[in-house]
Amino acid sequence: MKHLIFIATLTLSSIILNSCGLLGSSEEKQKEELYEWKQLVGFKSGSITAIATHGENVLYIAQSNRLSYSEEAGKNIKRFTAPDSADITKIKVYDRLYIIGDVYRSGAGFWGNRVSYVYASDDNGRNWEEIVGGFRMQDIVVSENMLHIGKKHGVITFDLEGDSVYKSNLFLYSKLSDHMEEITASADGSVYVSSHGGIFATFDRGTTWEKISTTIGKDYDHIKSIAVDDESDMIYAAEYRRLYYREKNEVKWIKKSINSGTEKVRLLSDNKIVTVDWDQVNYADKNSFEFQNIGPYYEQKESEYFSLEMLEVFTDNKIVVAGDEHIFVGTPINN
């Protein structure tokens, strides 16, 4: 049974973008700068756990059970609290705002345990509705009124119209950690999931799943991130220092080795592709795949831990990267 959880609003009058700490050493920068980077301030109180973008300027940032929301790509931020004091691990935006929140539950042994729930909001985090949960989740996607939940061993599909679990598919078992990494959907209703055991897809709204990465060797099929280009019908998958891509209807994946890691992969609307790894964003044309470092240029303090693990893009090609207590917004210089 669904129920509404009303959350008190905590408004931050004005948090502004700040470029402090972003150095522009000529030795580090490319000859032609492609992006101007600014660091968002006000996030030193706790590690950033999730980010999401929507449209040209809407930005969501999670720090444990706190959700920050901006309609100006990081300016004039409002802050709300997650339901059930849940630690937010994923944020997705569709017709509604969805989050995965990890909640501590007692009763599972001496120490209890942490389980995940999906919550939805129609007002950007002021009020929440619990959708489904009670197990650990990695990622979610909404497609054709179905909520697909990537978890350990497989995917659970929840019918948002029927308010019930439609299908539970467990298809991945190994001796290693075998949870799903990322899950995404294309405009035609196909859903793709990257995992420790390759790439899986459903073409029947979650009824059945099939492995579509059989041409990628088992030693290289820990796929960390996946993105779909609906305009060109291409799929892109990231694995450490390798990028795989193919047309949707093809079988064989093409491999592209790159000089830096690929923690996340995302697509820009101008035929460009971006990845993030450790302390830099890598940028390339999808036709050449000649990646270059485009920033952000940040002078790390000696006692500071700096690692960028999250990457999202706006529809106007601005880029957001985050990790630990750092978050940067990059704007195309010639846009």
At 145, the amino acid letter reads: N
C-alpha distances out from residue 42 to 62, 233, 327, Å: 12, 40, 10
Band (55; pLDDT cuts 50, 70, 90):
very high
Looking at 8-102, list the stretches that DSSP marks H as alpha helix, in order from N- to C-terminal side. Answer: none
**Cβ-Cβ contacts under 8 Å for 35 (sequence gap 6 or more):** 281, 283, 294, 295, 319, 330, 331, 332, 333
**Cβ-Cβ contacts under 8 Å for 304 (sequence gap 6 or more):** none
Tokens of 221: 């099929």
Mean pLDDT within 27-54: 84
C-alpha–C-alpha distance, residues 130 and 133, integer Å? 8
Tokens of 323: 């990790």
Residue of 169, 137, 139, 173 lying closest to 154 (CA atoms) = 169
Prediction pTM value: 0.89
Three-point CA angle 321, 68, 124, nearest 5°: 115
- The average confidence (pLDDT) of the chain is 87
Tokens of 318: 């601005």
Mean pLDDT within 215-226: 90
Band (172; pLDDT cuts 50, 70, 90):
confident
Q: What is the per-residue pLDDT for 2?
A: 45
Q: Tens digit of pLDDT for each residue in 260-303?
A: 778 899 999 999 999 998 889 999 999 888 999 999 988 777 66
DSSP result, 239-296? ETTEEEEEETT--PPEEEE-SS--SEEEE-TTSEEEEEEBTEEEEEETTT---EE---
**Residue 20 predicted with pLDDT over 70:** no
Q: Which segment of 19-33, 164-178, 233-247 scores lowest on mean pLDDT?
A: 19-33
SS3 content of the chain, % helix, strand, coil (to 5): 0, 50, 45
Q: Tens digit of pLDDT for each residue in 59-76?
A: 999 999 999 999 999 999
Which residues are paired to 155 by β-bridges? 150, 169
Q: What is the per-residue pLDDT for 26?
A: 39
Percent of the chain with pLDDT over 70: 86
C-alpha distances out from residue 126 to 39, 100, 170, 194, Å: 26, 16, 35, 32
Q: Tens digit of pLDDT for each residue in 100-131?
A: 999 987 665 444 588 999 999 999 999 999 99
**Residue 56 predicted with pLDDT over 70:** yes
Q: What is the per-residue pLDDT for 30?
A: 45
At 106, the amino acid letter reads: S
Q: Which segment of 182-186, 217-221, 226-230, 272-276 scores lowest on mean pLDDT?
A: 217-221
CA atoms within 13 A on the CB side of 73: 22
Local structure of residue 86 (DSSP, 8 states): P
3-state secondary structure of 328: strand
Q: Tens digit of pLDDT for each residue in 75-95?
A: 999 999 999 999 999 999 999
Q: What is the per-residue pLDDT for 107?
A: 60
C-alpha–C-alpha distance, residues 180 and 185, integer Å? 14
Q: Is the peptide bond before 296 cis (omega within 30 degrees of 0)?
A: yes
* Residue 225 or 19, more confident: 225
Percent of the chain with pLDDT over 90: 70
Contact 54, 93 (CB under 8 A): yes
